[in-house]
Amino acid sequence: MKYKKQINSELKQIARNIPYNKVIIRCANIFQSISFKLTRIPKAVVHKKITLEGYKGLKCKAEIFEPANVKEKLPCLIYVHGGAFSYRASAYHKKLACMYAMRVKCRVYFPDYHLTPEYPYPAAYDDVLALYKYIMENAEEFGIDNEKIGMAGDSAGASIAALICNNYEQEELKQPCIQMLVYPLTDVNMQTDSMKKFTDTPLWNSKNNRRMWLYYCRNLKSEEIYAASPMHSSLPQVIPDTYIETAEYDCLHDEGILYGKRLREAGANVEINETKGTIHGYDSALNTKIAISNIEKRIVFLKKGFNGGNYERKNEEQSLSDT
């Protein structure tokens, strides 16, 4: 691996090459499930669970994280975790969900969607779509301001979030007010310079990425594959305000930038944060300065998006370790 000296020194503790195959997925998901359940929920956050019908009527669960002692209607953030469409949510995803709930003062809905290789596209997309519709139908009961529903996700989760935002008109959804895409997966073609260059980067690389798309699009005909790729899906007339964050040493870097440019050319307000010295999944090192700094930018974007730029700066310097 020739990038180790260039990666931010804080991230060297997590800068490991990780293989991606069916055996690794099965073993990792045992650990992911246990660590997620054991991760502490802050006292300032209320945790709930719901079950709904998702892909082909199968049961789909969603975790809810919301600020404690709040009775008024709040914005809703549907946060779709990454993990190559294959891995269960990790402990740091849970910590981020709690953080967004506390800091942004919103209700965070966190879908536990069906995973590949067993459930290829459109299983995960259909699960998240079903959750969005469920929230719309029950917004009053859930204490959600249905004018303030946002989509967010990282990596493969960002791909699902982006598709929901592109398809909201045809899916008869309330327009998402914002979308936050962290090192997003957007292009099934895999022809960018970063995809060709970063074949051995830590945590994720283009070789793994190719296998992931094969798992995800396993049952699709060639003409159907682009439906799973945000870069190739049609855009709505009104595109939600968008935040895109990229990692420097990441095979997905260039397609994140290009996707942001595509949205801008279609008239969207897009903020692009090109983080430096970073790798895919770098924010799993939650308490590093580089993660804290960039997560703060996400929180500012979410607050502005939900509240029109009017928000309290109370506790802005709260340590991420509190979550």
For domain 9-322, give the fold.
Answer: Rossmann fold (3.40.50)
Task: Note the pLDDT tens digit of each residue in 188-204.
Answer: 999 999 999 999 999 99
Domain boundaries, the chain: 9-322
Is the distance from CB of 149 to CB of 76 less than 8 angstroms?
Answer: yes
For position 5, what pLDDT does the model report?
81
Task: Note the pLDDT tens digit of each residue in 225-263.
Answer: 999 999 999 999 999 999 999 999 999 999 999 999 999
What's the whole-number mean pLDDT along residues 137-162?
A: 97
Task: Kindly tell me if the per-residue pLDDT of 322 is higher than 80.
Answer: no
**Confidence band for 313, pLDDT divided at 50, 70 and 90:** very low
How do 241-246 and 270-274 pair as beta strands? parallel
Cis peptide before 122 (omega within 30 of 0): yes
CA atoms within a 13 Å half-sphere pointing along the CA-CB vector of 301: 27
Task: Kindly tell me if the per-residue pLDDT of 315 is higher than 80.
Answer: no
**Confidence band for 308, pLDDT divided at 50, 70 and 90:** confident
Question: Whole-prediction pTM value?
Answer: 0.94
Is the distance from CB of 146 to CB of 132 less than 8 angstroms?
Answer: no
Residue with tokens 């929901």: 164
Closest CA to 46 of 143, 149, 130, 161: 143
Number of helices and strands in the chain (H, E): 9, 8
Q: What is d(CA 125, CA 160) in angstroms, rounded to the nearest whole number?
A: 6
What's the whole-number mean pLDDT along residues 117-141?
A: 98
For position 150, what pLDDT does the model report?
98
Please report, as a single letter, which amino acid is at residue 23: V
| Phi, psi (rounded to 5 degrees) for 185 | -90, 120
**Confidence band for 310, pLDDT divided at 50, 70 and 90:** very low
Closest CA to 213 of 267, 177, 252, 269: 252
Cα distances from 62 to residues 11, 53, 78, 86, in angstroms, run 31, 11, 10, 17
**Confidence band for 1, pLDDT divided at 50, 70 and 90:** low
Count of CB atoms situated within 10 Å of the CB of 118? 11
Task: Note the pLDDT tens digit of each residue in 48-100.
Answer: 999 999 999 999 999 999 999 998 999 999 999 999 999 999 999 999 999 99
For position 148, what pLDDT does the model report?
97
What's the whole-number mean pLDDT along residues 260-289?
A: 98
Q: What is d(CA 212, CA 5) in angstroms, rounded to the nearest whole number?
A: 28
Cα distances from 273 to residues 8, 181, 228, 250, in angstroms, run 16, 10, 24, 14
What's the whole-number mean pLDDT along residues 108-137?
A: 98
Task: Kindly tell me if the per-residue pLDDT of 314 is higher than 70.
Answer: no
